[in-house]
Chains A and B, each alone.
Chain A
Amino acid sequence: MTDNTTLKDRFFKKYHGEEIQKCIQCGTCSGSCPFAPYMDFGPRQLFAMAREADMDEVLNSNTMWFCVSCYNCVVKCPRDISITDHMYSLKKMAAKESVKPPAMLDLYRSFNSPVEKYGRLTDAAAMAEFGLRHPVAALKNMPLGVKLVLKKRLEIKPRPLDNLSGFIKVMEKAEEMENQETNGKLANMESTKQ
């Protein structure tokens, strides 16, 4: 795993996490979060730890993976901190540090892969892929799946875009720019450190 100082730097600079310096630790975020009871640390505590550069604890926690993007904390935060966006950043950073993939990361990957392939999502495709990674959860969802099929609500066949090749070129270009930037920025950071 990358060292804590570099990770904090990346969070603060690349992902604009420095905004959490404004946090007054009031805990309104944790108090308004529907998933706080399931989190290792509430958002308030997580931000306190990030400020102390305890990034390996932060990135290995389950906190950001329980963030469901309800924006309840964001509209209540007295310091106008975009908490949800920081949760997105921490998820992306944790995934890059190859923490043990939480179930939600597997779900996101199962969602993204049909999108990358066809440009659109079909529930069946995402569920099948998630089911391969989490067979127990998939089995639990089977009765519901059957009901949806009976009600003709489950789309099995993918619906690819008309201009799928154009779409794929767009996504490849985005990926290429992303990689260039990541490599460039990281190299830059390392060289200033030395």
Chain B
Amino acid sequence: MIMRYGFFPGCSYKGAAGYKESTEAVCRELGIELAEIKDWNCCGATSYWSTQDLKSYVLPARTMALAEKQGFTEIANICNACYSTLRKALTRLDEDGELKEKVNLALHEEGLEFTGNLKIRHFMEILVNDFDADEIKKHVKTDLAEFVVAPYYGCQLNRPWGDIDDTINPVLMDRLIKALGAKPLTNYSAKTECCGAAHMVAHSDSCVVLNRRIVKDAVEKGADTICTLCPLCQFNVDASQAGNKSVNMPVIFFTQLMGLAFGLGKNDLMLNKLLTPFKMAV
């Protein structure tokens, strides 16, 4: 049976190092259809929450309204910022009828209506919660038993919600890593430390310090790679290692780890797009 979800790729999906290629390959392997929401727009993210009142709700609501119109009841996200923005808007609009009315007045200009009859999800969480680990195990072709993976969750998957997993010590991705036959680093205390997000552009010096901690914790505890689930997290943890010759910790997406386990090809993984090179002796 093919599992089908409405898919919100977000603006950074295409530019993220091999995220798109590996996600598509993994979906083919497992029989998952991520059906792109037609004509989706930017969620607005922190930038709109920080500068705009109504528009910060209108942006995520438009994409959600399109999803509803296209018949989806669940939206799969691959970016923590998109995920949290959509969830936050959905929750607020559900609580505040007056605000929802205003948002809909704006959306009516395009003939759209937001009802809020949707569930916002992250693709990683979908893989863990909607799929049997034994099913995933059946696709594993490469032995990763000695491969130690530091699961880096970042901030906006579990915070502020804390409902799909713990806010400080989440373990969802640890379970996925185990299902793939690899070893999750279970004492990775930096797993939900902040990567600095967009502040990397304007305040790179202070962000590099934060990322050094995320990388160092993985290095010192013996990880072979850091595994991420958000394009911005991946970018910051990876790019912040430039100029530091003493560390060389690859930062890959969970979909690339799945591809490695499934024995998928070079073009499916696109590990050559990473900044810190990934090498594995398997």
Binding site for B on A (CB under 8 A): 34-35, 37-38, 66, 68-72, 74-75, 82, 84, 88, 91-92, 95, 103-109, 111-112, 115, 119-123, 127, 130, 134, 137, 140-141, 143-144, 147-148, 151-155, 161-163, 166-167, 169-175, 177-178
Interface contact B62-A167, CB-CB below 8 Å:
yes
Q: Bound state CA distance, A182 and B7, in angstroms?
A: 35
Contact A130/B242 with A69-B49, A91-B50 known, Cβ cut-off 8 Å: no
Set of chain A residues within 8 Å of B105, measured between Cβ atoms: 173, 177
Interface residue ranges of B37-56 to A (CB < 8 Å)? 38-39, 41-42, 44-55
Interface contact A148-B15, CB-CB below 8 Å:
yes
Name which residue of chain B comes closest to A37, CB basis. B206
Q: What sequence of 0s and 1s flags, for each residue 83-127 of chain B, a beta carbon within 8 Å of any chain A beta carbon? A: 000000000000000000011011101111000000000000000
Please tell me which one of the listed residues B50, B52, B202 contacts residue A103 in the complex, with CB atoms under 8 A apart: B202
- The stretch that binds A, out of B130-138, B155-163, B215-223, B257-265, is B155-163
Contact of B198 with A by CB under 8 A: yes
List the 7 closest pairs (A to B, CB-CB), nearest first: A71-B159, A166-B110, A103-B202, A70-B155, A70-B194, A169-B109, A121-B11
Interface contact B160-A71, CB-CB below 8 Å:
yes
Set of chain B residues within 8 Å of A107, measured between Cβ atoms: 47, 198, 201-202
Contact A170/B58 with A75-B159, A112-B51 known, Cβ cut-off 8 Å: yes
Q: How large is the interface on B (under 10, 10 to 19, 20 to 34, 35 or more residues)?
A: 35 or more
Interface contact A95-B51, CB-CB below 8 Å:
yes
Name the prevailing secondary structure of the A interface residues.
helix
Please tell me which one of the listed residues B49, B102, B203 contacts residue A38 in the complex, with CB atoms under 8 A apart: B203
Q: What sequence of 0s and 1s flags, for each residue 142-157 of chain B, a beta carbon within 8 Å of any chain A beta carbon? A: 0000000000000110
Interface contact B107-A170, CB-CB below 8 Å:
yes
Set of chain B residues within 8 Å of A119, measured between Cβ atoms: 41-42
Interface contact A155-B159, CB-CB below 8 Å:
no
Contact of B168 with A by CB under 8 A: yes
Q: Determine which residue in B45, B51, B242, B275 has the highest number of CB atoms from chain A within 10 A of its CB, and name it.
A: B51
14 A-B pairs whose Cβ atoms sit less than 8 Å apart in the complex: A38-B206, A92-B52, A95-B51, A103-B202, A107-B201, A108-B46, A119-B42, A140-B204, A141-B204, A151-B272, A161-B41, A170-B109, A177-B106, A178-B54
Name which residue of chain A comes closest to B53, CB basis. A178
Interface contact A69-B42, CB-CB below 8 Å:
no
Contact of B266 with A by CB under 8 A: no
Interface residue ranges of B183-211 to A (CB < 8 Å)? 193-194, 196-199, 201-204, 206, 210
Contact of B167 with A by CB under 8 A: yes
Interface contact B47-A111, CB-CB below 8 Å:
yes
Name which residue of chain A comes closest to B198, CB basis. A107
Please tell me which one of the listed residues A104, A154, A170 contacts residue B110 in the complex, with CB atoms under 8 A apart: A170
Please tell me which one of the listed residues A104, A121, A172 contacts residue B202 in the complex, with CB atoms under 8 A apart: A104
Interface contact B41-A120, CB-CB below 8 Å:
yes
Q: Determine which residue in B16, B54, B273 has the highest number of CB atoms from chain A within 10 A of its CB, and name it.
A: B54
Contact of B14 with A by CB under 8 A: yes
Q: Bound state CA distance, A123 and B13, in angstroms?
A: 11
A15 to B: closest C-beta gap in Å: 9
Set of chain B residues within 8 Å of A109, measured between Cβ atoms: 51
Interface contact A68-B196, CB-CB below 8 Å:
yes
Name which residue of chain B comes closest to A178, CB basis. B54
Contact A144/B239 with A108-B51, A112-B51 known, Cβ cut-off 8 Å: yes
Interface contact B42-A121, CB-CB below 8 Å:
yes
Q: Bound state CA distance, A163 and B201, in angstroms?
A: 31
Set of chain B residues within 8 Å of A112, measured between Cβ atoms: 47-48, 51-52
Interface contact B193-A34, CB-CB below 8 Å:
yes
Set of chain B residues within 8 Å of A154, measured between Cβ atoms: 15
Please tell me which one of the listed residues A92, A111, A153 contacts residue B273 in the complex, with CB atoms under 8 A apart: A153
Set of chain B residues within 8 Å of A167, measured between Cβ atoms: 41, 62, 110
Set of chain A residues within 8 Å of B275, measured between Cβ atoms: 147, 151
Q: Bound state CA distance, A112 and B41, in angstroms?
A: 12
Q: Bound state CA distance, A144 and B47, in angstroms?
A: 22
Q: Bound state CA distance, A162 and B229, in angstroms?
A: 28
Set of chain A residues within 8 Å of B168, measured between Cβ atoms: 75
Contact A68/B201 with A108-B47, A112-B51, A170-B107 known, Cβ cut-off 8 Å: no
